Amino acid sequence: MENCANIIHDYYLLISFQIEVKKKMDENLRKSVTRWRLASAALVVLCALLIILVIGIVMSKNREIQAKDVPSCGLRFKSNMDTSEPEHPDIFHDLTSREMKAVQNYLISVPELNLELSNLRMNSSYIAGIDYILPPKKDVLAYLDDSRSPPARKAKVIILRGDLNPPVVEEYVVAPLSNPSSHTLIDYPNRRNPVAFSMRPFTGIEFKGISEVMKKVDEQIGDILRESYGATFNDCGDTCLYYLPNIVSSAITGDFTRRMWLQVAYLVEYYTIHPVDLLLYVNVDGTDPSQFRVEKVVYGGQYRNSLAELAADYVSGDVVKSKMTFPTVDKNLFSTLHRRGFPASPTEEQRQPQFVEPDGARYRIKHRQIEYMNWRFHVRMATYNGPQIHDVRFAGKRIAYEIGLQEIAAFYAGDAPTFRMANYIDSVASFGQQARALVPGVDCPETATYLSTRQVSDNQEGSVKSERSFCVFELNTGYPLRRHLQYYHFRGSFYGGMVDNCLIVRTILCLNNYDYIIDFIFHQSGIVETKIVSTGYIFGGVYNDQEKNYGFQIADQLVGNIHHHLFNFKVDLDVMGTSNRYETLDIKLVNVSNSKWLNGLNTIQSQIKFDRSLKKTELDAVYKYNFDTPKEHIFHNDAFKTRFNVPRAYKVQLSGMSKQILPEDKLNERSIPWARYQMAVTKYSDNEVSSSSIYGNSDGLQPVVNFTQYLADDENIVDEDLVLWMSMGMYHIPHSEDLPLTQTPGKHMTILISPYNYFPEDPSMSSRDQVRVQLKEPSNPKAGVRVDRYFNKPNTACVSNYKETDFDKDVEENPRNILDV
């Protein structure tokens, strides 16, 4: 039995050993299989990756080949762009660099003018600006229409004569521009020349003089500035104070002494919305900056008569001390223009839509003459008045001799004197000198063509070229110019429409904190439109309870005060010549009886009609908008009528009218009398060139250009050469969404000049841009439709030439094309 037990035990051990061996063999086999499976899977993945890589390389090569086969846009037609400076400029062309240099060289050679070239001071004699003088209109028309000799080109030069006693501002005419040999003080029949030095335009030389005042401020109250604001004006590193100047009109001060209120602010991006509660009333009269002085101070809302008085009261504790902290300057500072805020949109890095001209630009430029479809005109940048267009023709016929900006004003209100006396009349800054640096893809579409301008200021030798003062582009507005769909068969079943493709000439004037976008727009229907839009930084102050009726608190310690933007344009219409009339079509109520239609029931129905009203004199023609007296404004030559004996006219419309409610002929309102009217119509005069002047900021006590004089003689305007002076505007009460910049939507103001029975039908009917859809067989609608387009569309696509990096590279290599470096 024992042997049997041993045998069974040994057998059990053997079986157990065999089982264990089998388990280990199975485990090794499984591991081996797993390793082979993993290796096979890795090999499959590697093969797939290699296949994808090969396919990618092949597709990339195919795309390269295809890209080489796709032409760049615009290659079908030869470019017609010549934006160069002409050797022999035409009659409307701005002064060329050669002409400016010739004028400078001549004037420098005149001993009695005593012009200086370097180290300019307030008591120097120096050139503030040079502008082209448009010849008398009759001479220009004789040249354009009657093949007479072109009138001589002349320049107007403004010289600040700080070297004289008393100092004055003088305006000279210099001629001929081909080889200047004469200069004459301009004898204006309706304005004075010279002008008092206290009314001078802003220049960089004056700002240097004001900096001497700021040194005195630091010397006398520097400790107060550091303790109250953590900053000073000089030797301040990255924590500096700056100022925004407001010239106080002579109409307010009652004399011709030049004074300014300075709103002190932190010098950060951007200083006009980082004010501190320090205001300085500065006398900057005369030509000796050492005599410039602070006459009044407002510190924390507390008035003092001098810096010394403030310093003494600060030490004695007789003023409540102010305390403000210098802003932390980073991308999150609310006034900076870095991207921040909500999560980035779009969520993916997708580029914005771009403009494409598949067959190239459909307009032509020859120096400063531009042709588009049936339009032809000239563009220029006047030194003092800014953008202008001349000799505007449609289908060969002149519509307007001149359309151009005259003045921009902004009148503020508030408790603080810096707001109360801030009546900006902005041509003091010389508009043409403020038009520069348009940015492709933002300020203008990628397809735009750019025009440069040249300006002279502060007696600099030669002239400064601004590479991108104007941009010219055709815009697909994405909006129909006209369209109609007649869907139902029993009414004809057709569609006809045309997108509003138009040409735009644009400039942007940067007037310190505000930017003004100005467009001249040319529609294919014969309509020309002038538009102005505002954007930029607001002018802010320190909030307190006294300002709550003038503005909202929109950030910590910041108030944005109410102000009124005002704009004036000159429109010299020539409809079928210079013998024009101005009529209004006055829309009125009329009561009519329906008795003959209603079987003798005598019901009275009110409806509207219009009466024609011919305006006979200038005072008869002044227009102040009134909702109770709606009307249309038409201008025509009485000798030209349709076959139905209707005047062939042009209609003028204003969008953006704004009532100026300040009392007339009081204080600084005297400098903007053009704003009393939405439109005034005067008989053309070579002596009534502009509605305003660069002296308007200071001259309210005795305006250099008094627009009311243009109307006071009340001349006949029937069958005369007529000029329209058109005003627009808007009130602005800033709100928090105006931070950091005000936005353009809702701020578009336009002058629309439209044909009105001038053509037998809409002239855009000749355009190839229209589309027609109709039934192939009108009697059999089920046969389908036919789409008619009026050009041969090529089969190949095209690739845009525009790259953002082109602009980036340009400004990296030429930084002065965008910033002052």
Active site residues: 426, 514
How crowded is residue 820: how many other Cβ atoms within 10 Å of its Cβ? 7
* C-beta separation of 635 from 573 below 8 A: yes
CA atoms within 13 A on the CB side of 301: 11
Tokens 């355009």 sit on residue: 767
How deeply is 81 buried, as exposed, middle or buried, from its count of CB atoms within 10 A (0-12, 13-18, 19+)? middle
Buried b (16+ CB within 10 A) or exposed e, 621-644: bbbeeeeeeebbbbbbbeeeeeee
How crowded is residue 19: how many other Cβ atoms within 10 Å of its Cβ? 10
Following DSSP, what letter does each residue of 301-315 receive, concatenated? TEEESSHHHHHHHHH
Following DSSP, what letter does each residue of 401-428 receive, concatenated? EEEEEEEEEEEE--SSHHHHT-EEEGGG
Letter for the amino acid at 553?
Q
Letter for the amino acid at 616?
K
Q: Which residues pair with 330 in a beta bridge?
A: none
Record the tokens describing residue 762, joined without a space.
Answer: 């809409």
What is the greatest pairwise CA distance in the chain?
153
User: Is beta strand 81-82 parallel, antiparallel or unpaired with respect to 363-366?
Assistant: parallel
Query: Which secondary structure element, helix H or strand E, spans residue 59, and what is its range?
Result: helix 2-69
Distance CA 240, CA 545 (A): 28
Within 630-669, where are the H helices?
A: none
* C-beta separation of 82 from 93 below 8 A: no
Residues with Cβ within 8 Å of 228's Cβ and at least 6 positions away in sequence, in order, are 276, 278, 299, 300, 321, 322, 323, 324
* C-beta separation of 586 from 629 below 8 A: yes
Q: How many angstroms from the chain centroid is the CA of residue 458?
A: 25
* C-beta separation of 421 from 537 below 8 A: no
Q: How many angstroms from the chain centroid is the CA of residue 297?
A: 36
SS3 assignment, position 123: coil
Letter for the amino acid at 146?
D
Distance CA 331, CA 340 (A): 7
Tokens 């800054």 sit on residue: 429
Phi, psi of 798 (to 5 degrees): -145, 160
Distance CA 554, CA 548 (A): 11
Measured CA distances, 640 to 528, 577, 580, 585, 637 (Å): 21, 10, 10, 18, 6
Buried b (16+ CB within 10 A) or exposed e, 324-335: bebbeeeeebbb
* C-beta separation of 375 from 474 below 8 A: no
